[in-house]
Amino acid sequence: MALLEVRELGVGLADGTLLVRGVSFDLERGETLAIVGESGCGKSMTALALMRLLPPGVAILGGAVRFDGIDLARLGQRAMEDMRGNRIAMIFQEPMTSLNPVLTVGEQVAEVVRRHEGARNATARARALDLFRLVRMPEAAARLDAFPHQLSGGQRQRVMIAAALACRPDVLLADEPTTALDVTIQAEILALLRELQGEMGLALALITHDLGVVRMVADRVLVMYAGRKVEEGEAKALLRQPLHPYTRQLLAARPHHGRSRLDGPLAEIRGMVPAPRALPPGCAFQPRCESALPRCTAAVPPFIQSSGYGVACVLHDG
């Protein structure tokens, strides 16, 4: 049994419009799973659903989220609050808005410790200092009393990681944690996450749109499009030989290997991601797909799995 088992997760609006459609995956201890897709594919909603932090108007409409045997989707409010931060934690893209601007960062990390471990002030502060050292915060002791706006983007993200790991959770969800950071800082933060994962045996689910980041840190990758899972497999192999046309076209759309415009235009993907309420019939990617066949509009291709790899495409339905 995997540490986290998501089965046919459905997330949507009150009127029944689905933003996440029947997504299933496992997350093992010590593994980094990258969930990849562009805006509107439902990757963030999936992570928020696991934490039961969906915005107002959006709810889990179906499926199960089994964490260590417990179905998180059906857990009571109080029990879920005990889980959050304690056994399953999340960090977000924009640390400036995720941190309270009027509290010191040391205080915000100490608060997590106090909430879940009932520690007293002095103990909590000492733990906060330990955590700052854990996340390799430069001049950790001095930083405890700094306010978020006094820190750089990279330092703020370290604070978020410290708060998230305060209670040694089993699962860490990271929603685009480095997208807003400079590329040199991104490299440092991703390396930090990998190290911490190794030290603490975390299960890490990393949500990103950047396939280069996936190549850097992920063991397995799950590609999402229009709310559905379209491909899944071991990261390096999948990126070298993608099966689903969306994954292939997404890879081709970036300038790789020092390519210049003199080598010809980039391989665009024509059209746009469809709105959840206006999905095309059959395969959602079909209008933009270079390999589309007439039968792609007939039905949504089922996700077919075989020895660790899976893809939802009629070209590969055996």
Partner 1 sequence: MAETPLLQVQGLACHLTSPAGTVRAVDGVSFDIAPGTTLGLVGESGCGKSTLARAILGLVRPNAGEIRLAGELHPTRTAPQRRRRARLVQMVFQDPFGSLNPRLTVGRIVEEPLLVHGEGDGASRARRMLHLLDRVGLPFTAAARYPHEMSGGQRQRVAIARALALAPKLIICDEPVSALDVSIQAQVLNLLCDLQRDLGLTLLFISHDLAVVRFIADRIAVMYQGKIVEEGPAAQIWSAARHPYSRKLLAAIPPDPDAEN
> Would you tell me which residues interact with partner 1 (CB under 8 A)?
38-39, 153, 182-184, 186-187, 209-216, 236, 239-240, 249-251, 253-261, 265-270, 272-273, 288
Residue 279 CB, shortest distance to partner 1, in Å, is: 16
Residue 76 CB, shortest distance to partner 1, in Å, is: 38
Residue 245 CB, shortest distance to partner 1, in Å, is: 12
Among 188, 268, 217, 179, smallest CA distance to 31 is for 217
Dihedral angle sign, alpha carbons of residues 189, 128, 98, 219:
positive
SS (H, E, C) 218-252: CCEEEEEECCEEEEEEEHHHHHHCCCCHHHHHHHH
Cβ-based burial of 281 (10 A; exposed 0-12, middle 13-18, buried ≥19): exposed
User: Please, what's the largest Cα pairwise distance for the chain?
Assistant: 67
Count of beta carbons in the 10 Å neighbourhood of residue 295:
12
Among 192, 122, 126, smallest CA distance to 158 is for 192
Count of beta carbons in the 10 Å neighbourhood of residue 317:
10
DSSP label of 288: G
Residue 234 CB, shortest distance to partner 1, in Å, is: 13
Residue 152 CB, shortest distance to partner 1, in Å, is: 9
For partner 1, the closer of residues 78 and 270 by Cβ is 270
For partner 1, the closer of residues 50 and 235 by Cβ is 235
Cβ atoms of 279 and 310 closer than 8 Å: no
Residue 218 CB, shortest distance to partner 1, in Å, is: 10
